[in-house]
Amino acid sequence: MQYLTARQEVIRTLYSHRKRNRAEGATEVTKADVGGAPKETAFFDLSELGTSKIRGEAKFERLPKGETVEIEVEPNGEVPITLVKHQCKLVARNDLLLFDDRGKATKIPSVRSIIDRDVECDIPMQPEYRDVSRKHLIIDRFSDRSLCLTDVSSLGTFIPPNCLRRTSN
């Protein structure tokens, strides 16, 4: 975690140098700005990913990366879940379903399944969602309403804080 935090700080510093240079009218990235390597880098603005507001009401928090969180969906209820910035929801109707942000429903199998961008995975996301990781979220289903989520993504999975119950694995 310390390594990732340090890398994020380096990226923020480089990004602020780049913004300052553009504000001052500089059009070239210098070697000093990027630690000796004069090349362009794509930066993701991660400042809004810590917590986010959905529909102006509930705040979401990021699942702890690599830790298992237990979720229970009430009968005929739903749990909102955000994959990076794509608003989805887990819905318990006759079965447990995942609705993506386009309204497409996918049945969650009664075993371990993985959400990612690969069309041959258990629960595929749209391939144009480039910010969803190749292997994003692991779902272990235990019953009709109970499941465990493990975030293994780079940019995160977010759920309401009242759903965060860590398990000991």
Distance in angstroms (rounded) separating the CA atoms of residues 64 and 168: 13
- Candidates 73, 104, 102, 103; CA nearest to 90 is 73
The one-letter amino acid at 16: S
Mind giving me the DSSP string for 119-137? Answer: TTSSEEPPTT-TTS-SS-E
Kindly list the strands in the beta sheet with 157-159, ordered across the sheet, starting from the edge strand earlier in the chain: 51-54, 58-62, 157-159, 78-83, 86-92, 96-99, 105-107
* Per-residue pLDDT at 80: 92
Nearest-CA neighbor of 108 among 119, 121, 117, 118? Answer: 121
User: What's the Cα-to-Cα distance from 68 to each of 90, 94, 156, rounded to whole Å?
Assistant: 17, 25, 14
- Tokens in use for 151? 């975030």
How far is it, in rounded angstroms, from Cα 12 to Cα 16? 6
Residue 29 has a pLDDT of 47
- Three-class SS state of 161: helix
Reading the chain (169 residues) residue by residue, the pLDDT tens digits are: 677 888 888 888 887 777 777 666 655 545 454 455 444 555 555 555 444 444 444 588 888 888 888 888 888 888 999 998 889 999 988 888 889 888 888 888 878 888 888 777 788 887 778 888 888 999 998 887 788 999 998 888 999 888 765 555 5
What per-residue confidence (pLDDT) applies to 151? 92
Sort strands 105-107 and 112-116 into parallel, antiparallel or unpaired.
unpaired
Q: Is residue 14 within 8 Å of residue 34, measured between CB atoms?
A: yes
Give the residue ranges of DSSP H helices in the chain: 2-23
Task: Give the residue carrying structure tokens 């935090």.
Answer: 5
* Phi, then psi, of 16 in degrees rounded to 5: -65, -35
Model pLDDT, residue 117: 81
